[in-house]
Every structure is written in structure tokens, then in C-alpha cells.
Amino acid sequence: MPITLQQVRANCARARVRMVQARTQHWAFGAFNLDDEATLKAVAAAAKAKNAPVLVEVSAGEVSDIGLANVRDLVDNVKFEYGVEMYINLDHSPSVEDAKKGIDAGFEFIHIDVSQADHNASDEKIIDATREIVQYAKFTGALVESEPHYFGGSSNLHKEKIDYEEIRKTFSTPEGAKAFVDATGIDTFAAAIGNLHGKYPVPKKLDLELLQQIRDAIDCNISLHGGSGTPAHYFESAVKIGVTKVNINSDMRVAYREALVSTLKANPDEYSVAKLVTKDVMPAVQKVVEEKLAGFNSAGKAEA
């Protein structure tokens, strides 16, 4: 059953309150990508086991495969079935039109990222697009997230090492963060402090001193993209500083694929792959999510 505008506005209002509480109480929402129903249920099972609030998110690829309305319905059904606190984020929406569709579909969180489609997008183009979505989102109250430049990497298992000298060129700065927040009025600033999309051969390193400087410079929420492959102690420090949202994708995908390959090899005569996914793949993904929730200090923070 389609969600009503009244329900959408109530969900968005609650999400806003909860983000304030997360910052005050020093915990962060885990934002976990939804590749399919099995992934969604694994996230829900982890949220229930840890009594933690969570976000599930889709980007352009998942939207193309599943559809915005289907995502909304799937999440609402699973949220009710598991009895968990769960919200939806439209991640890296590449255009104003796509972001507006996410708002219209009733998503509580919207990430507008025109630099995803155009890595060389001008500052003016990024700011104008972000402003337009901030204004449009007022209709439902959805929280809008953005950043002033392209964020590198990809949600995959990388073989190359991390070139920190190159990555540092795109680090956020306190001055840049403040200017962007002031110019756009966003609810959440996506900081770049060593976080990077994807999973790499070596653990990622976050510049926590820089994060503190950014926190001191702006008063809106702060998110960290590219959380996979990052030691938990960085997240534990980041939430104390004031990060309230951390995106995880690649760690889940690696666990999913490895578990699937293993169970297919162990069960060569089973042709109901869905049974194997439920039996062996979902628990593997759930374990990853539970570990992240512990690092985000969100276990035990769910509200009925």
C-alpha cells in the first residue's frame, strides 16, 4: 500500500529528531546499501539483534533494478515484519530530477551529488543543484545531504593500494565546508577525511584532527561515505566528534559474494539458490552489519 504524504512527513520529522539525538548522544546511523531483498532482510535482522536504528540506501544502479516505489514498499514491509527503526536514503543521486523523484517517493534522506555524473561539475552548478533540492525537500521535510566536489573510489573490491597523496588533494577543509553549508542550507555535509568508496588491500586511515576542525566549523550533520575497510576505532572516535551517518556497501558485497560462492560449491546439487542465500548468505551479511553497528555506537539506540 502506498505511503501517504502525512506518513512521509511524520517519518521525515522523526528522522530529523533522531539525527539531532545521534549527535547529542554520540552515535551514528549505519547507512547500508540495499542490493536485493536478502540484503535488506540481513540489515533488518542485524538492526533487530542489536536494537539499533538504521538507514538502507539505494543509488542509481539499485533504483534502475528495483524502482523507487518498490524500494519504499519493500522497506516498509520488512520494517514492519522485523519491528525495527529504519529509514531510506537515496544515495549519490546524480541529478536534480532524480533527487526530486526520491523525495516524491517518500524517502527520508536524499543525497544530491551532481558531480557523480559530471566529475568536473563547476562549483556554481553543484551549489545551484543542491539549493534547488534543499528547497524542494521542504515539501516533505526530507533531509538533504551533499558535498562540494566529486568523491572518489567505487563500491567494489580494489586491488590497488590507496594513494593518500592523491586523495589528500580532495580532502574537505573547514573553510570549504562552512562556505558550502552556508551557500546551500544542507542538512548533512559529506566529509572527505581519508574515507573512500570501496574496499582496498590496506585499511583506510581517517584524519580525525581534520574531522574535528570541520565539526567546529559547521553546525549541520556530518556523514562519512566509503566506510568499508575502515578499522572500527576510527568510527568510535568519529561519533564522539559528531559524525551521525556512516555509509557501508563494499564490506557487505564482499561478504555476500564470498558466502554465495562458498555455499554453491558446498551444495552442487541444490538448484534453489534462494534457499542457500537465506541459509548462508544472509547471516554472513548480517554479521558485517552487526559489527558496524557496534562501531557506530548505535546498538541499543532504536526507538519503537
As annotated, the active-site residues are 91
CB 146 within 8 A of CB 111: yes
